[in-house]
Amino acid sequence: MTQVDGAGQRPPTKFQIKRERTRSDLLRLGIERFLIRGYAPTTIEDVVRDSGYTRGAFYFHFGSKEEFFLEVLRARRDLRGEWWAVVEAAEPADLATALTIAQTEFARTDPQGSRWTMVISEFADANRDDESLMAPLRELHAEWCAELGRLMTYAQERGWCRTDLTADELAQDVLAITAGYGFMFETYRANPSRLMDVYLRYLEAR
């Protein structure tokens, strides 16, 4: 007789556990391997090479490279976790400290953020006329803005941050600034050390 847990749900079968592990492993490989060559040149063979997985395993879980890439972006989001809670728990005394804590947490959970700026741009350029792909990409961007908007709201409530714009508007602008610096760093090896000063000058209360 099949046992059920306290909520009346059957525990996952060995097949389900293996299937979920395979999917997670493929997403991890995508996070690693899209960074090597970029979005366009990376093939499904590149993703599964030397991993023990096959193209068949890939297509069991993902319908296309494009669908897979969007799932990889969601997996990156999940890896970041609730980073804003880390900032709030630290009880920073000012905006500069709050931003530094956030930046440190991003560096820990998403150390190749600037490189991902380029890879996402490749995906957007390759699929700009396909609304079925651009719509979920925009939804992900809106989620990223909402995450950052929590920090902007936190700063506004403490009088550290300008209030002539909404937290969501500030978040969109900060992401645009970050993407711009990411592009400059990856393309021209521009010095990113001034980025914090740009954030502070843009966000300072006025």
Q: Based on the domain organization, do 93 and 72 belong to the same domain?
A: no
Last residue of a domain, one of 49, 79, 109: 79
Last residue of a domain, one of 13, 45, 79: 79
What phi-psi label fits residue 9: left (phi over 0), alpha (psi between -120 and 50 degrees) or beta?
beta
Q: Based on the domain organization, do 135 and 189 belong to the same domain?
A: yes
pLDDT of residue 52: 96
Q: Could you report the per-residue pLDDT of 76-107, keeping only the tens digit for each? A: 999 999 999 999 999 999 999 999 999 999 99
Domain of 74, CATH number, reads 1.10.10.60
Q: Based on the domain organization, do 8 and 53 belong to the same domain?
A: yes
User: Please, which pLDDT band fits residue 41 given cuts at 50, 70 and 90?
Assistant: very high
Tokens of 156: 């506004």
Phi, psi of 52 (to 5 degrees): 90, -5
pLDDT of residue 1: 43
The count of domains in the chain is: 2
Q: Based on the domain organization, do 138 and 189 belong to the same domain?
A: yes
Report the first-to-last Cα separation within the chain, whole angstroms: 68
Rounded Cα distance between 121 and 177, Å, is 15
pLDDT of residue 9: 77
**Residue 23 reports pLDDT greater than 90:** yes
**Residue 109 reports pLDDT greater than 80:** yes
**Residue 7 reports pLDDT greater than 70:** no
Rounded Cα distance between 34 and 12, Å, is 31
Average pLDDT over residues 193-201: 95
Q: Based on the domain organization, do 149 and 88 belong to the same domain?
A: yes
Supply the mean pLDDT for the chain. Answer: 94
Average pLDDT over residues 65-83: 96
Q: Could you report the per-residue pLDDT of 133-175, keeping only the tens digit for each? A: 999 999 999 999 999 999 999 999 999 999 999 999 999 999 9
Strand partners, 204: 161
- Cβ atoms of residues 117 and 141 within 8 Å: no
Rounded Cα distance between 176 and 183, Å, is 11
Range of the domain at 13: 1-79
Residue (of 66, 143, 78) closest to 109 by Cα position? 78
Tokens of 25: 């492993």
Q: Could you report the per-residue pLDDT of 175-186, keeping only the tens digit for each? A: 999 999 999 999
pLDDT of residue 205: 94
User: Please, which pLDDT band fits residue 110 given cuts at 50, 70 and 90?
Assistant: very high
| Non-local CB neighbours of 189 within 8 Å, separated by 6+ positions | none
Last residue of a domain, one of 79, 100, 133: 79
Percent of the chain with pLDDT strictly greater than 90: 90
Rounded Cα distance between 145 and 30, Å, is 23
pLDDT of residue 177: 97
